[in-house]
Amino acid sequence: MKNVSIIASFVGAILFTSCNNNDDNMDMPLNIDYPAAYIVNGEDATVSVVKLSTNEVTGTIALMGTGSDMIMWPHHISSHQNHLAIGVPGMDLSAGHSGLNTSGMNGKLLIVDALNGSIVKNITLPLMNHNTIYSPNGNEIWVPQMDMDGKVLVYNASTNALMNTITVGMMPAELTFSFDGTKAYVANGDDDNVTIIDTATKAVLTTISVGDNPVGAWTGSNNKMYVDNEDGQSISVIDVATNSIDETISLGFMPGIASYNGSKNELWVSDPMNGKVHYWTWDAGMNMWMHGSSFNTGAGAHAIAFTNDGNTAYVTNQTANTVSVVNTTNHTVTKTINVGRKPNGIVIKM
């Protein structure tokens, strides 16, 4: 892992482009009225828009602009209705999360209109953040603050007013919600645990010990959360109902992200160092996850997003600067899409 200390300031302006891979037809407003995948390109500070029906890049949202308040290294992305929430830590996290020095760094809360690419909110945060995410009902925006004195900030999505500050563990990374929306999960990297929060009351319900250096508790539609322990090279499976660990899956590699495909009942885990995605299938007789196989995607394999029917997956490859389109039935890459530099977060909006 790399020890990284970067002090940066971030964005003001935005440029809309409607383009092919050669970035022709500049300065044309976007009109994304079709199902699309949005890919955050960290090094370029752009978002590539991929039309799902053709798997072609149909537009690019340039976040950095020309202002003195530049956005640098946007990271993970989520969506609510017609809005995209992007966390902007201002630091390249593609090499991992160990040994980070976030002292003196401000993050960004960035909300983008998913239809035309305009920036709706651009709020400077007290500290660096791994992601920015709407609450399940869309009324709030939750933001973790990466610091030894870890906190979660909850903003009113309409007024931008800070509503709550919730104390969590050391160096919180990703914040996610359970599939039913009743609980929030914060992976505390330096404490090797996950804080569980009641989304309605904002009360901390409990803290669960997991593996070494957890990065995120990724949502499963099967009432589970899948925690990728980066240095522990494992996945901790949390039961949402009981707030307990069901199983710990040993990987033998540093995980990028874990993603559950409900329609196939498979657990996929990216393997960035080897440019692969591994998948596990559920063995009902053994009552545990069993490793199925793996397949190559591209160097720096990272985020995984499934279409609603679960038949297609999109995998960002941070070092290859590509996105792999995968047939989930036979686990084969059907297309490789060139995007921007260091693609990391991805979200699909139907």
Rounded to two decimals, what is the model's pTM? 0.91
What pLDDT shows up at residue 90?
A: 86
pLDDT at 25 > cutoff 50: no
CA distance readout (Å), 113 to 38, 70, 179, 271: 12, 19, 24, 32
Q: How many residues can be counted in the chain?
A: 350
- For the stretch 44-60, pLDDT in tens is 999 999 999 999 999 99
Give residue 305's pLDDT band: very low, low, confident or very high (50, 70, 90): very high
Q: Which amino acid is at 149?
A: D
- For the stretch 142-193, pLDDT in tens is 999 999 999 999 999 999 999 999 999 999 999 999 999 999 999 999 999 9
The mean predicted confidence, pLDDT, of the chain is: 90
Only one residue has tokens 């590539």, namely: 48
CA distance readout (Å), 207 to 14, 132, 151, 163, 218: 40, 21, 14, 22, 16
What pLDDT shows up at residue 113?
A: 96
The mean pLDDT of 8-23, rounded to a whole number, is 36
Q: Which amino acid is at 146?
A: M
The mean pLDDT of 81-90, rounded to a whole number, is 94
Give residue 29's pLDDT band: very low, low, confident or very high (50, 70, 90): confident
What pLDDT shows up at residue 4?
A: 32
| Cα–Cα dist 64/30, whole Å | 17
**Two structure tokens written together for 337:** 């899409």
pLDDT at 76 > cutoff 90: yes
pLDDT at 235 > cutoff 90: yes
What pLDDT shows up at residue 105?
A: 83
| Cα–Cα dist 19/164, whole Å | 41
What pLDDT shows up at residue 94?
A: 75
Give residue 110's pLDDT band: very low, low, confident or very high (50, 70, 90): very high
Q: Name the DSSP letter for residue 193.
A: E
What pLDDT shows up at residue 91?
A: 82
- For the stretch 197-211, pLDDT in tens is 999 999 999 999 999
Give residue 28's pLDDT band: very low, low, confident or very high (50, 70, 90): low
DSSP secondary structure of 68-113: SS-------EEEETTEEEEEE-SS--TT-STT---TT---EEEEEE
| Cα–Cα dist 224/246, whole Å | 9
Is the CA virtual torsion 130, 132, 136, 140 positive or negative?
Answer: positive
> Residue 173's closest CA among 204, 209, 218?
218
